[in-house]
Amino acid sequence: MEAISMSTYIKRKRDGRIQIKSGNKGERVIRWTIVLFIVFTVMAFMFFDYGQLEIMSAIVETAHNLKIMFLQPALSHFGWGEAVYQVGVTLGLAVLSTVLGAVIALFLALMAATNLSKEWISKTVRILVAFVRAVPTVLWVLIFAIAAGLGSEAAVLGMLFHSVAYLVKAFSEAFEEVDAGIIEALRATGCSWWHIVTHAVLPSTFTYLLSWTFLRFEINFSVAVAMGAAAGAGGIGYELFMASGFYFDLGEVGFITYAILLIAIMLELLSTRLKNRYFAASAVE
């Protein structure tokens, strides 16, 4: 079989004939995977038990609810001061779990990076964080709630656990991208391991570490909103749960949704600004 382009290849059959096909094996696998997903999705909708659901009535009611939520947002059960305070609580949970997680993950990532650590240490750390990462954040929160009780403590510990596992993988992969020649040159001059880390690895990967940390912070903010209701951690997530599950106040649900969306946009703008600033600084250097 001879390749003649990235998307076309020639296959010679046993009888000597030549067969030309477009697309490589990977592209065909992706194509058939997408087709199967579409087929399974259609089949799932066909086998749903709709019961006594009236489609047209449901569409009209849903449109009415969305209209109230997003076109008539209002606060009914708490004021602006309380809203700001609850948003601050949610941000505090996200900041605390992200900052602590990033610090812990930095040291574990240095041990997990194959170019900075011994093989058995790297594999051990990677296996442990893979196990932690495989367990959903909400399950870690519930596990810690057994010891600490439902509340902000369990939420922070659960988010911290998952943040460490997530950032260890991201940080270690960034460390492994450092030019091996630089590390070997520093080792040849007699530099210690810590000197190599502080003068070569961290400066060259700082922008990537910052990007991954802010990405995890955005994730933790979203998780903190959910944990406010699921784990009794408080914050704007708890108010959203009360407004939707107890009061059924769609106007208040809409207001809280807008507040969460505004914070998410502000975090994204801050992240982009910091990344651009440090990318520009590193480019100048």
| Cα–Cα dist 201/177, whole Å | 9
Contact (Cβ atoms closer than 8 angstroms) between residue 253 and residue 244: yes
| Cα–Cα dist 236/253, whole Å | 10
Contact (Cβ atoms closer than 8 angstroms) between residue 89 and residue 263: no
The pLDDT of residue 102 is: 94
Total Cβ atoms within 10 A of residue 193:
13
The pLDDT of residue 38 is: 94
**Strand 18-22 to strand 2-3: parallel, antiparallel, or no bridges (unpaired)?**
unpaired
The pLDDT of residue 152 is: 79
The pLDDT of residue 240 is: 84
pLDDT at 254 over 60: yes
What's the distance, CA 123 to chain centroid? 23
| Cα–Cα dist 33/39, whole Å | 10
- Both tokens of residue 251? 């106007």
Q: Where are the domains of the chain?
A: 2-69, 77-284
| Cα–Cα dist 109/176, whole Å | 10
Fold topology of 77-284? MetI-like fold (1.10.3720)
pLDDT, mean of residues 96-105: 93
As a three-state string, the secondary structure of 212-251 is HHHHHHHHHHHHHHHHHHHCCCCCHHHHHHHHHHCCCCHH
pLDDT at 225 over 50: yes
The pLDDT of residue 112 is: 92
- Both tokens of residue 201? 């690895």
